[in-house]
Structure 1
Amino acid sequence: MPVADLGPEIALIAGAIAALLLAMVLPQRRLGWCLAPALAALAVAALWAFAQADAARLTFSGTWALDGVTFWARGMIVAATALCLILAPRWFEADRRHGEFYTMTLFSALGAIAMAGAADLLQLVMAVLLSSVTGYVLAAWHRDWALSVEAGMKYFLIGALANALLVIGVILVMGMAGTSDYAALEGAEVSSPLALTGLALIVSGLAFKLGAVPGHAWVPDVAEGAPVPAAAFLTVVPKIGAALALYRLVHLFPDAEMLRPLIAALSVLTMTLGNLAALWQEDARRLIGWSSVSQSGYALMAVAVADLAPHALPALIWFLAAYALANLTAFAVIAHLRGRTALEDYKGLARTQPAMAATLILAFLSLVGIPPLIGFVGKLGLFMVTIDGGYAWLAIAAMLNTVVSLFYYVRVIAPMYFAAPQGDAPATLGVPSGAVAVVAAAGLVALGLLSGPFLAEAFGEVALP
């Protein structure tokens, strides 16, 4: 059991501890310095993960998968976490507990990576619990603000129920199959009612982390009430881990009769509910939250056709990367505008903050899937593998939902360019948040233009061991 196999995860733990120790000795005005050990830990984790890019094996007695999926999960989660943390120093400038934010975020990122790399049901439970417990704290960080407390409480209550269902599901599957090890579970007979019930409960538990029906209700509240760096993190990073964990689960039981139809149904319900709810929002952060729910529905398309379409896994990974970059871009703009959320505040933004207006438009268009942005490639891949896997009706439902999503994004975009500004130019958070927004937006364009050969080379061979 070589400890080096978990080098990236150990780096995150070390960085979290270093940030916490530094926060204990620094005065409040210097707590932003805790960003340095956090970013250093993320950099070490990324380099270590890159060194293990070609690994394809199970380690630590078969509980941890060191493969292409874990590699890409590490890369996406580390990059997304770094972008979120760069927003934090200026946002939490007056917060006495500012330094601890970096520690909680790194531990939450560790939980998300552990979800994606879990090769044992008990390991999966521990990963979900680590991601959840830290997420509750991040959501309710502004404890003197009612919306933040409400977001944290809703996240906690829904999470308590979902995690209990997950544990019950794991117990049922273990009881019927006699093991929690993925290698032993692969292809196991799960036709009994109790085993199928267990699988359904596990899916429900992971749906909570993914922000999908039936565990979706926390997403818009967290998007609105959590600190913007935390909202950006919680609407992106846990989704990556949960989506890949769900894919591994379906890969284990390709012949389970009800599993694929269940996930396909959840996909349609999630994307439809998210898009319809977003149509009526008057708050930009809640709108992005409901949009995030709908994006979870799209991700479930690839999960539903796991192993039915040969490129389902690369399509899922690429979509998750495109979604993460676009969602983080949108939240970086909101952070730069100091959390302005009412849609009225965005009228005439193109005249007062032209760069931020253009950046937000690129983020929204990528979430819709407009070429040449990377979101187009991500959604096109999902549609192709879904049709290839025999779920053409699901692809049609997703296309209709994509058309619906245009309407609520236009509700934000049109006033930015065609309405008069509301008062003076909005105050901004500073250079770091603007830089994150612009760099992420540039990535949306650059990756979209370069994605053809990159997809063929980088994702063509991704597979589970």
Structure 2
Amino acid sequence: MPIGDVLPEISLTLGAVVIVLFAAFTRQQHHHWAAVLALLTIALCVVLTLAQWSGPPRLTFSGVWALDGVAISSKLVVLIAGALVVAMSPEWMRTDRRHGEYYALVLFALLGVIMMASASDTMELVLGVLLSSVASYPLAAYHRGWAPALEAGMKYFLIGALTNALLTIGVVVVFGLTGNTGYPEIAQGFAEGSDNLALTIATACIVLGLTFKLAAFPAHAWMPDVAQGSPAPAAAFLTVIPKVGAAVALARFMSLMPPDIAWRAIVAVISVMTMTLGNVAALRQTDVRRLLGWSSVSQSGYALMAIVVMGVSDQALTALVFFLATYVIANLAAFAVVTHLRGRTALEDYQGLARNAPIAATILIASLLSLVGIPPLIGFFGKFMLFSVTIEGGYTWLAFVAAVNTVVSLFYYLRIAASMMFSDARPVVHVLMGQWARSTMVVAGLLLVVGGLGAETLMIFTDSIRFAL
């Protein structure tokens, strides 16, 4: 068991422990230094992760941990996104007595997401899902004195308890069918033949368990409440980062399935239901944060398209990781603006914002257009790759449904943009004091444009990623 293979994860764990001790023995007015410690921890983890990139794809720790292109690239996406969330948090959390502990929870949640993406064993997958969930529940209800936050946290917890139980049941059934928990052994057991009914039930339970972290149908109901009721930086975290680990984990598990199990049809139906439900529900929203929550649901449906064609399109995994990266940047940019504006949430609060806060309005409009997939923003290239591999894989009808949903989404995104640009209202703009949130907002906005201009280089960087089995 080579310890060097999990040095990034060890650094995250130790960093979180150091932050807990720091918060316990320092005054509240010094807790913003915990954000610095968290950023240093993430930077060290990124360096250690990049050092693993040149190695051959392999399974380590007796085959339970994957070190392949998919795991490493998704780990980098998660860590960079985590750094942006940490950077937008200090001013928002300044008056909270548990300010320092917040960053430890973020690091533990990041660790759980990374474990989901790197798991090559069903027990490791369960451990990653549970660690991510346990660290995320307090983040959702961190403002426990506010009723919407308590509602969000309770809904998040109850749906998580149910779906995590289903995931565990599916894992137990798979173990009963194959006698193993490791993915290579499970794939071999499936190839040798097994009870199709039991395998279908197990697959359905595992897929439903992972739809919770994806915020995909039918375990999506927590997402709009969390987007609205959580602290804005925590909402930014919970609406995007767990999706990366869950999507990669689902893709990795689905790659084990024998061809006689209709798993592609199951995932395709979930994809259509998720994107359609998310977009239709977003049409009626007058709360910007809740609208972004429903938008996040729809984006999960798009991501599932790449999983549907996995194995029939050579670029499916590349498209999945690249789309997740572009979506993460766009959604974090939108929430960085919301955080900078002290979490203003009603749509009427954004009327005329382009006149009084032009930088914030420009970045928010750019992030919304990137979510739609408008060139030259980075979101266009993620959507383009997604649609290309879906059509190449023979699922043109799914690409058509996604295209219709994209047109529908354009309506509610442009409704926010039109309100900011063309309204005659001149709202009083309240922003967080300090430079953390403002700087994060600007950096995320630059990533939208710079990432789009350098998209071809990023595509080459992720072109050859494959699973290690």
Question: TM-score by structure 1 length?
Answer: 0.98
- Distance, in Å, in 2 between the alignment partners of 1:242 and 1:442 is 27
SS of the residue 1:58 aligns to: strand
Q: Given that residues 92 and 98 in structure 1 are in contact (C-alpha distance below 8 angstroms), is that contact kept between their aligned partners in structure 2?
A: yes
Aligned twin of 1:210? 214
Aligned twin of 2:254? 250
- Distance, in Å, in 2 between the alignment partners of 1:206 and 1:53 is 27
1:89 shift after superposition: 1.1
> Does 2:461 correspond to 1:458?
yes
Aligned twin of 2:145? 144
Aligned twin of 1:61? 62
1:406 to 389, 405, 410: 410
- Distance, in Å, in 2 between the alignment partners of 1:451 and 1:218 is 33
> Does 2:38 correspond to 1:38?
yes
> Does 2:109 correspond to 1:126?
no
Aligned twin of 1:431? 435
SS of the residue 1:65 aligns to: strand
Amino acid aligned to 2:346: A
SS of the residue 2:66 aligns to: strand
The alignment of Structure 1 onto Structure 2 pairs a total of residues equal to 464
> Does 2:74 correspond to 1:73?
yes
1:60 shift after superposition: 0.7
CA deviation string 1:80-126 (max 9, x = no partner): 01100111111011100111001111000000000000000011001
SS of the residue 2:128 aligns to: helix
Aligned twin of 1:175? 176
2:290 to 286, 289, 292: 286
Stretch deviating more after TM superposition (173-182 or 338-347): 173-182
Q: 5+ unaligned residues in a row in structure 1: which ranges?
A: none
Amino acid aligned to 2:16: A
Amino acid aligned to 1:373: L
1:429 shift after superposition: 4.2
- Distance, in Å, in 2 between the alignment partners of 1:195 and 1:425 is 56
SS of the residue 2:454 aligns to: helix
> Does 2:170 correspond to 1:166?
no
SS of the residue 1:186 aligns to: helix
Aligned twin of 1:2? 2
Amino acid aligned to 1:280: R
Amino acid aligned to 1:38: A
1:236 shift after superposition: 1.0
- Distance, in Å, in 1 between the alignment partners of 2:288 and 2:153 is 19
> Does 2:305 correspond to 1:304?
no
- Distance, in Å, in 2 between the alignment partners of 1:52 and 1:224 is 38
Q: Given that residues 336 and 430 in structure 1 are in contact (C-alpha distance below 8 angstroms), is that contact kept between their aligned partners in structure 2?
A: no
Q: Given that residues 349 and 427 in structure 2 are in contact (C-alpha distance below 8 angstroms), is that contact kept between their aligned partners in structure 1?
A: no
1:392 shift after superposition: 0.8
> Does 2:331 correspond to 1:327?
yes
Q: Given that residues 345 and 422 in structure 1 are in contact (C-alpha distance below 8 angstroms), is that contact kept between their aligned partners in structure 2?
A: no
Amino acid aligned to 2:35: L
Q: 5+ unaligned residues in a row in structure 2: which ranges?
A: none
Q: Given that residues 91 and 432 in structure 2 are in contact (C-alpha distance below 8 angstroms), is that contact kept between their aligned partners in structure 1?
A: no
> Does 2:381 correspond to 1:377?
yes
Residues 254 and 453 from structure 1, CA distance in 2 versus in 1: closer, same or farther, beyond 3 angstroms? farther
- Distance, in Å, in 2 between the alignment partners of 1:57 and 1:37 is 32
- Distance, in Å, in 2 between the alignment partners of 1:336 and 1:163 is 34
Amino acid aligned to 2:372: V
1:445 to 412, 431, 449: 449
1:37 shift after superposition: 1.5
- Distance, in Å, in 1 between the alignment partners of 2:39 and 2:48 is 14
- Distance, in Å, in 1 between the alignment partners of 2:67 and 2:82 is 21
Aligned twin of 1:114? 115
> Does 2:228 correspond to 1:227?
no
Question: TM-score by structure 2 length?
Answer: 0.97
1:256 shift after superposition: 4.4
Q: Given that residues 341 and 429 in structure 2 are in contact (C-alpha distance below 8 angstroms), is that contact kept between their aligned partners in structure 1?
A: no
Overall identity of the aligned pairs, in %: 52
- Distance, in Å, in 2 between the alignment partners of 1:228 and 1:186 is 41
> Does 2:28 correspond to 1:25?
no
1:204 shift after superposition: 0.4
CA deviation string 1:345-404 (max 9, x = no partner): 000000000000000000000000000111000001010101111111100000000000
Stretch deviating more after TM superposition (160-169 or 440-449): 440-449
Backbone CA RMSD of aligned residues: 1.0
- Distance, in Å, in 2 between the alignment partners of 1:190 and 1:441 is 50
Q: Which has the higher contact order (CA 8 A, sep 6+)?
A: 2
CA deviation string 1:119-175 (max 9, x = no partner): 000110011000111111110100001011110000000000000000011111111
Q: Given that residues 70 and 116 in structure 1 are in contact (C-alpha distance below 8 angstroms), is that contact kept between their aligned partners in structure 2?
A: yes
SS of the residue 1:235 aligns to: helix
Q: Given that residues 163 and 219 in structure 2 are in contact (C-alpha distance below 8 angstroms), is that contact kept between their aligned partners in structure 1?
A: yes
- Distance, in Å, in 2 between the alignment partners of 1:423 and 1:195 is 57
Stretch deviating more after TM superposition (337-346 or 432-441): 432-441
Amino acid aligned to 1:324: V
- Distance, in Å, in 2 between the alignment partners of 1:39 and 1:425 is 29
CA deviation string 1:243-269 (max 9, x = no partner): 000110111115142211000000000
1:54 shift after superposition: 2.3
SS of the residue 1:236 aligns to: helix
Amino acid aligned to 2:275: M
SS of the residue 2:284 aligns to: coil
SS of the residue 1:136 aligns to: helix
Amino acid aligned to 2:440: V
